[in-house]
Amino acid sequence: MSYIEVNNLKKDFVVKKKREKGRLLREKDTVNALKGISFSVDKGELVGYIGPNGAGKSTTVKILSGILTPDGGNATVGGLVPWQERKAHVKNIGVVFGQRSQLWWDVPIIDSYSLLKDIYRIPQGDYEARLKELSEALQLEEFMKTPLRLLSLGQRMRAELCGSLLHRPELLFLDEPTIGLDAVSKLSLREFLKWENREYGTTIMLTTHDMEDIAALCSRVMVIGHGQKLFDGKLNDLLERFDTVRNVRVKYDVAIPELALPEGVVCSKTEDGIELSYMPSKLPTAKLLSILQDAGNISELTLQPENTDHLIAAMYKELDL
């Protein structure tokens, strides 16, 4: 049996519209956030859970963490039903919401950790060993006596991760953990998550719009849209069908030559060369390279696919998300 089992999960929300002029009561709409989601996750997996805004990602995480009760279907995490056995369930999970904090805003983070130790009833020896390990891995030692409100966004996210992992959870939910972080903080956070997963076999479920996070961390990705699961597999398999555009940058030894390019190739001049976009399905890469080589001596050539964000945007558009 898989560690996480989700079968036909459904959740609706009632949303009140703005009251129209002349009406006493506001009209209501029912939003179908989840329309029968089913999936399973094995212990120790690092899974990406992606989709556009409003797709149902956060709703799924809140149900699996015991915050919300579904309107239909069932789910178990480690054999427990999250919303029915919440006290036993939360001992085994950690949750980090990128836009919400579980630490106390005005007190030093070490005091927040001490309170979490008491909440989760962590033995003093285990707490001290785990805190030392996490503070070193996340580079938090110099901030321990600093109130959360005085930390930068990147420092706060590292502090949140430390707090969510103090009790050694078997499962970690990450909802937009790198939102607003700079490049250095993102790389540091990714390296830590890979270390935690590798070192302790922690199951991690990651929801994010940052596709570099998914590509760097997740061996498996699930795509959700309109409250339904649309894809479940490897990220490369998902992107392969949308990877239809290539970009080429070329520098020549002398002046930029005139190129006789086939129809459909978009060419623009840069400061020291040219940049081309083409579709391999219509123009084989080998043929384009031959045209470029025949035009003159090439000093530098870079060939790269469309970046991941563009591919995901193309996928969303095709799936009408």
Question: What tens digit of pLDDT does each residue of 10-64 get?
Answer: 999 988 877 777 677 778 888 888 999 999 999 999 999 988 888 888 899 999 9
- For 239-279, write each residue's pLDDT tens digit: 777 767 778 888 888 777 778 888 888 888 887 788 888 88
Encoding tokens for residue 283? Answer: 């123009």
**What's the pTM value of the predicted model, to 2 decimals?**
0.78
Q: CA-to-CA distance for 249 and 265, rounded, in angstroms?
A: 13
The values of phi and psi at residue 270, to 5°, are -110, -175
Q: Name, in order, each residue with C-beta under 8 angstroms of 247's C-beta and a sequence gap of 6 or more.
A: 275, 276, 277, 303, 304, 305, 306
Q: What angle do CA 223, 175, 162 make, to 5 degrees?
A: 140
Residue 75 CB coordination number (10 Å): 21
Q: Which two tokens stand for residue 183?
A: 């490049």
